[in-house]
Structure 1
Amino acid sequence: MLYSRRIIFVQYLLEDVALVPTRLNKITMQAQRDLYLLLSRFILFYELVDELDTFLNHFPVFPNAFLVGGPADIFVIELADQLQKLKVEPVLLHYFSHMKVLQGLELRMTTSTRLKACLYSFTSPGGPMYPTRTVRHAAWQALDLLFPVGRYPRHLISLFFRLLYPWYWPSSCWNFIISCISAVLHSLLRFIFSSWENLWRPKNHQP
């Protein structure tokens, strides 16, 4: 119930205030900026990504825009800051699952590097983020999707640093074995079911 109310409230702020100039202009310029910064942090969480292009086109003018960049840069900076404050696994996974909407945004090099560093901080176990294995995999997927260039060197560097911490070896080996067994079992089951269907399909069509 609380989540539904928050969705309605954020949707109201976005669609009935931020994207309506006649209402938006009734509040001060600083309030407009604060509103857009707030919405930048929660648009992905409340699944309002369909309005992202319109949202960026209505972005107010920021006095430090010549330093940080345009609307897309400010949006991504706020999003990265929000991600680094999160510790709850389902929330992080929800954010990472919507990262594909950032593809195609024209960002400054500094903003792009900031987002890349933010995602990379979730790809390794331990501090400062202490992400779970599921979060690490989701962060890798988002990182590889948004920054495909340098994908394999990143994984090699990550593997090298993992080798420097022997206490992670048992869990890594165990997870690798479990993943291999799971993949083999799924392939075997698909093969069995496929063979079973092919075996019985002619009989089912007989009059």
Structure 2
Amino acid sequence: MPKASWTPRSSAYLNALSREIHKKLQKAPASPSQRLNLLQELFADVALEVDDRAKDIILSREEDRPADDGGDGPLCFYGVLADYYVRVPESGKPILNLLVQLWSQSFASHIFALLFHKWLFEVELDNSEVLLRYSSALVQGATNVFWIDIQTNTRRFQSLFRYLLEEVVLEPSRLNKIPVQAQRDLYLLLSRFILFYNSVDKLESFLKQVPAFPNAFLVGGPDDFLVIELADQLQKLKVEPVLLHYLSQIKFLRGMELRMTTSARLKSCLYSFTSPGGPMYPTRAVRHAAWDALDLLFPVGQYPRHLISLFFRLLYPWYWPSSCWNFILSCVKAILYSLLGLVFSFWEKLMKPKSHYS
């Protein structure tokens, strides 16, 4: 979200929102039976997209308004409030104190990550123990909300991801404000979701900012850490459009210098999506996308892999009918496209005006 200049009207509106959030949080400790529902409702409220009426109040100028197709996703209340708590930190302190009391409850870290992810890197906290607690809550909460985007195949929390990537990890002055362990956790978190949030253009800069890991001697360099996290992430994905998106974006890993163990890990992960049946049960679209990614990243041994795969397919006769049918459809489509290409080229030649000098 652009940095808006708060008018008295917008400040009053955001202050009223903060008071409502504070009231809901006050009810949570008093009613243990309703605590989960209250926190879940509050999370849904702050993650809600800002409607046109609220935009007229919050965004005072036309240049403050983000484009509808902006790269940071839709404008949500958490983005507006996160900016507000940086500008007016005293308004967020009562909310923060209540969230600390509810630290172990579900959705508490979600709400903290959404509302205070900017505040954490803008204020000065001298207590290292408190800073570590806040940093851990941020990473945990961000992980949970990013998985919500994964499960629903949306980009509602893209602005949170972009801030953590571009304004924190790529800005050492902010990144160094949190403990080293939190820096490592944040790096691993962003590694798992960088393909999902279409941030591969920042991949080179991102890999240069990797913090020091104690087991780097065994695992490898930044490229290895990134690929290991992505391979683990791929194994957990169950939403087909999201998995296809990852497989289409994974081509940007081409050319990375990986250790043999890391390379084998990624190859094994991709290969697991190329065969029908358990344990993955990938669809035809996923299998073809996995083959494309595997052939692009590991061109050596491409043809033997396909022959071995075909041999094992022949061992399962119940797959033959569908394979033959898809093969026939592919041939028919190829013939039709070739015929259409010939017709169009003939039509262009027919309609092309003849030269007077020919």
Band of TM-score, shorter chain:
over 0.9
1:40-189 matches, cutoff 5 A: 40-189=191-340
Shift >3 Å, 4+ stretches: 1-5
Contact 2:155 2:197 in 1 (8 A): no
Deviation at 1:5, TM superposition (A): 3.5
Distance across 2 between alignment mates of 1:8 and 1:160:
47
Letter in 1 for 2:157: R
Contact 1:87 1:129 in 2 (8 A): no
For 1:19, the equivalent position in structure 2 comes to 170
For 2:35, the equivalent position in structure 1 comes to none
Distance across 1 between alignment mates of 2:155 and 2:239:
19
Deviation at 1:96, TM superposition (A): 1.1
Distance across 2 between alignment mates of 1:110 and 1:4:
33
TM-score under structure 2 length normalisation: 0.56
Letter in 1 for 2:180: M
Deviation at 1:6, TM superposition (A): 1.4
Structure 2's unaligned 5+ residue stretches are 1-73, 75-148
Give SS of 1:61's match: coil
Deviations 1:76-122 (A, max 9, x none): 00000000101111111111111121111110000000000000001
For 2:115, the equivalent position in structure 1 comes to none
Quick check: 1:194 aligned with 2:341? no
Return 187-196 or 106-115, whichever deviates more.
Answer: 187-196
Contact 1:120 1:140 in 2 (8 A): yes
Deviation at 1:58, TM superposition (A): 0.5
State the structure with more CA Rg. 2
Letter in 2 for 1:128: P
Distance across 2 between alignment mates of 1:202 and 1:51:
49
Distance across 1 between alignment mates of 2:156 and 2:313:
43
Q: Per chain length, whose mean CA-contact separation is higher, i.e. which structure has more relative contact order (CA < 8 Å, sep 6+)?
A: 1
For 1:8, the equivalent position in structure 2 comes to 159
Structure 1's unaligned 5+ residue stretches are none
Deviation at 1:66, TM superposition (A): 1.2
Distance across 1 between alignment mates of 2:299 and 2:276:
22
Distance across 1 between alignment mates of 2:264 and 2:250:
15
Distance across 1 between alignment mates of 2:206 and 2:271:
27
CA RMSD of aligned residues (A): 1.4
Deviation at 1:4, TM superposition (A): 4.2
Distance across 2 between alignment mates of 1:196 and 1:101:
39
Letter in 1 for 2:229: E
TM-score under structure 1 length normalisation: 0.95
Return 188-197 or 117-126, whichever deviates more.
Answer: 188-197
Distance across 2 between alignment mates of 1:200 and 1:50:
44
Give SS of 1:107's match: coil
Letter in 2 for 1:125: P
